[in-house]
Structure 1
Amino acid sequence: MESGAVIDVMRTAAQTLRTGDVRDKIHALQDLHHAIDAAQAALLGELEASKEFELDGASTLNMWVRNQLRMNSGQATALVRGAIVLRDLPQVAEAAFSGQISAAHVQAFVYGLRHVGLDPMRQHQEVLLEVARNREPGALIEAVKHLKAVVHPEDLDDAYERGMDKEDIAVDALPEGWHVTGFLNTVTGAKLKKVLESVSAPRDKDDTRTGSERRVQGLDDLLDSILGNGLPSDKGVKPHLSVFVDADTLEAAAEHVKQTTENPYASPAPMRDVEPATLAGHGAIGPNLLMYFLCVSDFTAFLMKDGGGARQAQILNAGRGRYQPNLLQRRAVIARQQGVCATPGCNHTHLQIHHTIWWSHGGPTNLDLLIGLCVRCHTLLHRGRLHITGNALDGFQFTNRTGRTLRKRRRTPYRQAA
């Protein structure tokens, strides 16, 4: 164990607690907490190697942790697995001992070792550490999952097939009503989520219903609509699913699936490393599911480029000639945002197209001045709780009603969308 780094953090914390302001003290204690967690995990690794836990009558390190440190099984398992990460990923260990990353971040690397593999995690260790130092553990988990999707795309299809095998839904009558239980596969679940989002948004500022109440009422309204007139639409556009895929990924997936169908009993060659296709609101999907969507969906290709796209935008500009964006403009906006609401921190996928320079204020229906917002964020904007400036070429800026800037969403450019 790198005890020197931990001791340095302790000294810094002690000095800061004597002389620092309250914010510095909080940061110092947080760093110290992270460093102590890492030191404890590393010492557990040494105890595992020496087998000295047997001196206390424990047959496994996990049992020793439960008995001696009075932790539950889940906490003990997390500590033991963290020790493995600090042994196998030295740069992660260095960051942990110096208090730069938390035990929760270390657990994200645990997930990576188990599901991605040691060699890819070592290869991308520096990039993942940069995420860990600057983002919360959830962001690191998403980065590791993205790496898993790139390195092992076939696992995505395996997960989809396992979901197909155990899918079920039951609606059972009870004296008080109906009890709904079940498990849905990736596609069916995404469809249900899309539909519920579209019908359960708050009606207005006075809508005090809870989220569960709005979902149930939305489902009831939806059933009425289906029985009477079909699915609801938003300005003539019905709710739909969006899949985003690079041209290179589409080509690689087609080659991979062709190989597996032509030689079903042979072990297919690994699919080359490409960006995985993404189902909006769900995440990465595998090549076989991508080919299924391609078979049953409309397909629209967009040429997109980092840092701009003005020439392409002009092709889809309508100026003041029409108020409602046409279908191609809508699809272009959705593709630009990868199918989710543009407001930082919002992940809703049922979008309405908004003129950032309002039509009533003379704004044109131009692609670089159109943005996709969910129903809730669109309502907040027109209530003055959310403000948007800028354009798609230079970037949109989001502020709340007090003028505070909302953190921008990191976007990955996609060159082709389906």
Structure 2
Amino acid sequence: MDPKPTIDALRTAAQTLTSGDTRSQLHALQAAEDAIHARKALLLAKLESSKDFELDGASTLNTWVRNELRMNSGTASTLVKNVGALRDLPLLAEAAFAGQVSAAHVRVFAYGLAHVGLEPMRQFEEVFVEVAQEHAPSELFEAVKHLKDKIHPKDLDAAWERGMDREDFAVDAVPDGFHTNGFLNTVTGAKLKKVMDSISAPRDKDDTRTGAQRRVQGLDDLLTAILANGLPSDKGVRPHMSVFVDADTLQAAAEHVQAKTEKPHLISEPMPSVEPAKLAGHGAIGPNLLMYFLCVSDFTAFLMKQHGGARQAEILNAGTSRYQPTLTQRRAVIARQYGVCATPGCNHTHLEIHHVIWWSMGGPTDVNLLVGLCVRCHHLLHRGLLNITGNAVDGFNFTNRHHHPVRRRRTHYRQAA
């Protein structure tokens, strides 16, 4: 391709540096840089095609670029990919070699060729070049993507379906808190984005909190409100964080923290060796955090006793006279399982109460025959992919649809699903 446009851009930059004002100099330098990038892309593509980089002992173009030009290989790869757009779209090439559009703009045209098609991009090339000359690459991308969405509407549903397949959201306990990670589909993500934008907005002009502080505090306020008001799916059990602690541990923690509080200048006695309190879904917590929860929370005491290795609360059974377990029975089941799904290997903490002997088959609403399952495991059970027998006193038995015992990892019935 004719090098004259690139040479003209360089000549203009040189002249402006000696006579122009600061703004003119910056504009001229940017145009020269953009023209150089376009020309460099063309030369790199020629070098890749000829394999002449091997003359300098480089086995690949990226190696040659790193050694000879001291350029990042990713940048070089991007420039080479841009060559297709410069070759197929003459108006774009003319603007690029003259320094009127940047390499980032050219990359958007390369995206359009790959995802929209050559003929549509040629049809709207003049319009897109004008957009590139006047606007940032992000705005050009929105214009090209709009054309893609109009020409290939099926791709929109395909992208949504791919997102549905990828969706995941995890909140994992780590020693110093919780780590969140995941990917949300279009609908759920849009809802979360709307909520987060609302709850994390600055309160007023004097709100000096960082964005991170506003987001975390907004989320905390939202979760507190939800937990305070309850959720319909809980059927009377207000959703809450559950902390499970033995009476001996509670007393020892109270004495330990009280001693440290009253006599901070003295070295207090170490905490007695007792079973630590456990925060459902997280694990063991220390006496200070336990006392904090005790200060800001309600608590319910359950008398527990050992039966064949399983803990069972002494709660009145409802018999067959009512379907819904009482609030006390629900709390007893949750306490018995320490707030975690009863299925081996499952650590989910949002539980639904299930009759081991189904109510429709004459099963009693007896706390010994009630079990707490997460929504996923409950669905698996009613789909016939998970079976539960036994009782809370002797222990529940979990099997998959092939009657194989479910171990700590629920691989059998997950594969069957």
Alignment TM class, shorter chain as reference: 0.5 to 0.7
Deviation string for 1:285-335 (max 9, x for gaps)? xxxxxxxxxxxxxxxxxxxxxxxxxxxxxxxxxxxxxxxxxxxxxxxxxxx
Q: Residue in 1 aligned with 2:353?
A: none
Rounded to whole Å, the distance in 1 between the matches of 2:61 and 2:122 is 26
- AA paired with 1:132? A
Cα deviation, 1:198-254, whole Å, max 9, x if unaligned, reads 2111111221111111111111111122233489xxxxxxxxxxxxxxxxxxxxxxx
Amino acid at match of 2:37: D
Amino acid at match of 1:18: T
1:56 shift after superposition = 3.1
- For residue 72 of structure 1, what is the aligned residue in structure 2? 72
TM superposition shift of 1:98: 0.8
Shift of residue 119, structure 1, vs aligned partner: 1.9
Shift of 1:41: 1.0
1:372-387 to 2 correspondence within 5 Å?
A: none
Would you say 1:144 and 2:148 are equivalent positions? Answer: no
**Structure 1 segment 14-413 matched on structure 2, within 5 A:** 14-229=14-229
Kindly provide the amino acid, as one letter, of the partner of residue 197 in structure 1. D
Question: Does structure 1 conserve the Cα–Cα contact (< 8 Å) formed by 2:100 and 2:133?
Answer: yes
Which residue in the other structure is 1:286 paired with?
Answer: none
In structure 2, C-alpha distance between the alignment counterparts of 1:137 and 1:50, rounded to whole Å: 31
CA distance in 2: counterparts of 1:45 and 1:91, whole angstroms? 19
Which moves more between the two structures, 75-84 or 63-72?
A: 63-72
The structure with the larger Rg is 2
Q: Which amino acid aligns with 1:167?
A: E
CA distance in 1, matches of 2:10, 2:133: 19
Mapped to 2, the partners of 1:126 and 1:74 lie a distance apart of 29
Alpha-carbon RMSD across the aligned residues, in angstroms, is: 1.9
- Relative CO higher for 1 or 2, CA cutoff 8 Å, sep ≥ 6? 1
- Matched residue SS, 1:11: helix
Mapped partners of 1:92, 1:230: distance in 2: 59
1:257-278 C-alpha deviation (Å, 9 max, x unpaired): xxxxxxxxxxxxxxxxxxxxxx
Q: 1:164 to 1:92 in 2, by over 3 A?
A: same
CA distance in structure 2 between the partners assigned to 1:230 and 1:204 by the alignment:
30
Contact 1:66 1:76 in 2 (8 A): no
Using the alignment, how far apart are the partners of 2:69 and 2:19 within structure 1? 33
Render the CA deviation track for 1:121-158: whole Å, top value 9, x for unaligned: 11211111111000011111111211211121111111
Where in structure 2 are there 5+ consecutive unaligned residues? 232-417
Is the 2:45–2:83 Cα contact (8 Å) retained in structure 1? yes
**Structure 2 partner of 1:329:** none
Corresponding letter in the other structure for 2:71 = M
- Contact 2:95/2:101 (<8 A) preserved: yes
User: In the superposition, relative to structure 1, how do residues 54 and 175 fare at CA in structure 2: closer, same or farther (>3 Å)?
Assistant: closer
Q: Is the 8 A contact 2:38 2:79 kept in 1?
A: no
The alpha carbon displacement at 1:64 in A equals 3.3
* Superposition deviation, residue 60 in structure 1: 4.3
Question: What amino acid does structure 2 have at the position aligned with 1:2?
Answer: D
Distance 1:115 1:69 in 2: 32
Q: 1:156 is aligned with what amino acid?
A: L
Which amino acid in structure 1 is aligned with residue 190 of structure 2?
A
Cα distance per residue 1:144-184 (max 9 Å; x no partner): 21121112111111111111112111112223222111111
SS in 2 for 1:208: coil
Deviations 1:33-69 (A, max 9, x none): 1111111112223333433334334454444333432
Q: Please list every run of 5 or more consecutive structure 1 residues that lacks an aligned counterpart in the other structure.
A: 232-418
| Distance in 2 (alpha carbons) for counterparts of 1:110 and 1:62 | 20
The residue aligned with 2:392 is: none
Distance 1:157 1:77 in 2: 31
Aligned to 1:201, what secondary structure does the other structure show? coil
Deviation at 1:8, TM superposition (A): 1.4
One-letter identity of the residue aligned with 1:34: D
Alpha-carbon spacing, 1:84–1:61, altered in 2? closer, same or farther (3 Å)? farther
- Specify whether residues 133 and 211 from structure 1 end up closer, same or farther in structure 2 by C-alpha distance, changes over 3 A only: same
Identity between Structure 1 and Structure 2 (%): 67
Distance 1:156 1:94 in 2: 33
CA 46–172 in structure 1, closer or farther in 2 if over 3 Å, else same? closer
Aligned to 1:364: none
Cα distance per residue 1:73-92 (max 9 Å; x no partner): 31121111122221111111
Paired residue type of 1:66: R
Work out whether residues 54 and 60 of structure 1, in 8 Å CA contact, stay in contact via their aligned partners in 2: yes
2:123 & 2:25 partners in 1: Cα distance? Answer: 35
Whether the aligned pair in 2 keeps the contact of 1:62 and 1:76 (CA below 8 Å) is yes
Listed one character per residue, the Cα deviations across residues 70-123 of structure 1 (whole Å, up to 9, x for unaligned) are 323311211111222211111111001111111111111122222222222112
Q: What is the SS of the residue equivalent to 1:94?
A: helix
Separation (CA, whole Å) in 1 of partners of 2:229 and 2:134: 50
- String of CA shifts for 1:340-373, please: whole Å, max 9, x gaps: xxxxxxxxxxxxxxxxxxxxxxxxxxxxxxxxxx
How many residue pairs were aligned? 231
Q: Secondary structure in 2 aligned to 1:202?
A: coil
SS of 2:127 mapped into structure 1: helix
TM-score, with structure 1 as normaliser? 0.52
Out of 18-27 and 158-167, give the one that drifted further.
18-27
Whether the aligned pair in 2 keeps the contact of 1:10 and 1:32 (CA below 8 Å) is: yes
Q: CA deviation at 1:26?
A: 1.5
1:203 partner SS: coil
Rounded to whole Å, the distance in 1 between the matches of 2:73 and 2:120 is 29
Q: Equivalent residue of 1:139, what SS?
A: helix
Shift of residue 28, structure 1, vs aligned partner: 1.2
- Per the alignment, residue 388 of structure 1 pairs with none
Whole-angstrom distance in 2 between the partners of 1:26 and 1:136: 17
Cα distance in 2 for partners of 1:12, 1:173 equals 60
Task: Find the counterpart in structure 1 of residue 6 from structure 2.
Answer: 6
